[in-house]
Homo-oligomer: A and B are copies of this chain.
Amino acid sequence: MPSSHVLPVNQDTLTASAVAAQAQAAVRVHSALDSGPRFSPLYRQIKTLITESLKEGQWRPGESIPSETELAQKFQVSQGTVRKVIDELASEHILQRRQGKGTFVATHQESRVQFRFLRLRPNEGPPKAQESEVLDCRRLRAPVDVARALGLKAGDAALQVTRRLSFGGVPTVADEIWLPGVAFRGLTLERLRSYKGPLYAFFEAEFGTRMIRCEERVSAKSAPSEVAQILGISPNTPLLAVERLSFTYSGQPCEFRRAWYLTSEHHYFSEFV
């Protein structure tokens, strides 16, 4: 399995399928292990290859990837098979199709994306203007819980960013963001403050770390005094305590957030099907 080339076709599986286009079964490499006839359909193999390319930054966020027909030729499969791959990646918000233009790598730069990860909505009226103040940014050794969340060893280098978010001038969120030190080498308070736009767009543009998925764990707690001070509220006000763990392409955790949401004028919105 040559890892030297991601664009070139995986010789083992794909050229074989080209030769035996009619007899696909011949291509299906049953995983030589004894665990039964598990095979990977072509579109899965190709999805893996394309995901690898994205992981390695071969096509960067906002750029276009090759057309369906080009990819079909490259992988020696039909356009329909490539389509199925792109359909899936588009439904995962990893790629984005634009009819007549091409297929693009999704990015956090777009306005519609920014709202997908902002679950806080005003109880009434339209969304207010958001203001973000970076209070601090320091390089520390990862505490045990942070290290476990990020898949680091306790004591590894980590970055801690503290912020205050306000909506329409009202302080509403206080949070603490933890990042792995190695991936975010060179992050400073100044760079954070000078960047305009969403944090994830900053991460993706400046550090090549693209967040594609995240988990949140929410509970209700009384405001600790430090948090109450930041938000300008009285201690023991009930707040939402939101822990967010974000993941990048590879499924690697890339950010851990501990946030406090004031929900007197806002609420946390969640929809499911």
Contact = CB atoms under 8 A, between A and B. Distances in A.
A3 interface: no
Contacts of A216: 269-272
A268 interface: yes
A214 interface: yes
A239 B215 contact: no
Interface residues of A, number: 32
Interface in A208-231: 212-222
Count of this chain's copies in the oligomeric assembly? 2
Interface string A219-263: 111100000000000000011100000000000000000000101
Helix, strand, loop or mixed for chain A's interface?
Answer: strand
Given A91-B91, A238-B238, A218 B272 contact: no
A1 interface: no
B240 A221 contact: no
Interface string A82-109: 0000000001110000000000000000
Contacts of A267: 217-219
Given A218-B263, A218-B267, A219-B263, 17 more contacts: A93-B273, A212-B273, A213-B272, A215-B269, A216-B269, A216-B271, A218-B268, A218-B269, A218-B270, A219-B264, A219-B267, A220-B221, A220-B261, A221-B238, A221-B263, A238-B238, A238-B239
Which one of A91, A93, A218, A267 has the highest number of Cβ atoms from chain B below 10 Å of its Cβ? A218
